[in-house]
């Protein structure tokens, strides 16, 4: 199947490639290696066929156990697809916002960039997540959360940073989520208690995450502080940009 920037699926709205982006050392992120996605629990049979034909053979579910139980991935029933559950937030995220306490809502409603930095600053979490990516079977990895904007967006920014993509291109890639999700069921009605800004993909949100990474002399220093070896970093870069 030909590579495409966004896969036109019937029941998922923010399924996009990380391929085709130029890097500072004149390489290009490779197609059919990584797909970022929103909720894939409602995929139609057609959607599943599209993803399988596209080469997806690994799914990394970044959601909490509560989210996962409430809306199981549709690809769980496909024997040829390996599913890895790796929550990118500590604790259990609720699908029903009404279940949150006022204190939890206040935390959710604060500037999203702080939340992204919290995830990146959890070096043990990042090490484990990147190790899962490095050791995954060759083929296309699809990683997702519920909206495909925050947890998925943070991991996307990190992967593109590792590949050597310019920050401005990472920001533009992140900003597309709101446009793609605007007509999805998740965004049809804003849950009570959630600030409208949380539903957007404003540039300053991901810029704060990039500013945190840019505090390091280079991305390799950050990855080594997370615990990755030089060999593991090279394997990760190869997965992103190596031809063949």
pLDDT single digits (tens) 82-138: 999 999 986 555 444 445 555 655 555 567 898 899 999 999 999 999 999 999 999
The gap from C-alpha 198 to its chain's centroid, in whole angstroms, comes to 16
Strand residues in the chain grouped as ranges (E) = 16-17, 34-37, 56-61, 82-85, 140-144
Residue 174 has pLDDT above 90, yes or no: yes
pLDDT, tens digit (0-9, with 9 covering 90-100), for 211-231: 999 999 999 999 999 999 999
Band of residue 50 on the pLDDT scale cut at 50, 70, 90? very high
Residue percentage of the chain with pLDDT more than 90: 76
The domain spans of the chain are: 16-236
Return all residues near 50 (Cβ < 8 A) that are at least 6 apart.
Answer: 1, 7, 9
pLDDT for the residue 91? 54
pLDDT for the residue 112? 84
| Per-chain mean pLDDT for the chain | 90
Tokens of 32: 């059919």
pLDDT, tens digit (0-9, with 9 covering 90-100), for 176-191: 998 998 877 766 655 5
The correct CATH number of 16-236 out of 3.90.226.10, 3.90.190.10, 3.30.70.2500, 3.90.550.10 is 3.90.190.10
Closest by CA position to 89, among listed 123, 128, 58, 115: 115
The three-state secondary structure class of 71 is coil
């Amino acid at each position: 199947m030909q590579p495409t920037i966004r896969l036109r699926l019937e029941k998922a709205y923010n399924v996009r490639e990380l391929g085709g982006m130029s890097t500072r050392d004149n390489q290009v992120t490779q197609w059919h290696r990584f797909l970022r996605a929103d909720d894939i629990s409602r995929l139609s049979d057609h959607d599943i066929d599209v993803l399988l034909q596209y080469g997806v053979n690994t799914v990394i579910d970044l959601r909490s156990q509560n989210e996962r139980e409430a809306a199981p991935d549709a690809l769980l029933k496909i024997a040829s697809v390996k599913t890895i559950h790796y929550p990118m937030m500590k604790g259990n995220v609720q699908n029903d916002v009404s279940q949150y306490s006022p204190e939890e809502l206040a935390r959710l409603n604060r500037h999203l960039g702080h939340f992204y930095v919290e995830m990146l600053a959890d070096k043990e979490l990042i090490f484990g997540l990147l190790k899962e990516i490095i050791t995954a079977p060759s083929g296309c990895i699809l990683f997702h959360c519920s909206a495909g904007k925050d947890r998925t967006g943070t991991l996307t920014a990190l992967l593109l940073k590792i590949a050597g993509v310019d920050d401005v291109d990472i920001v533009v890639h992140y900003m597309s989520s709101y446009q793609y999700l605007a007509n999805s069921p998740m965004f049809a009605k804003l849950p009570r208690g959630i600030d409208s800004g949380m539903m957007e993909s404003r540039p300053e949100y991901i810029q704060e995450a990039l500013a945190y990474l840019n505090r390091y002399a280079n991305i390799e220093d950050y990855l080594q502080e997370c615990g990755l070896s030089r060999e593991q970093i090279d394997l990760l870069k190869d997965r992103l940009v190596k031809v063949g």
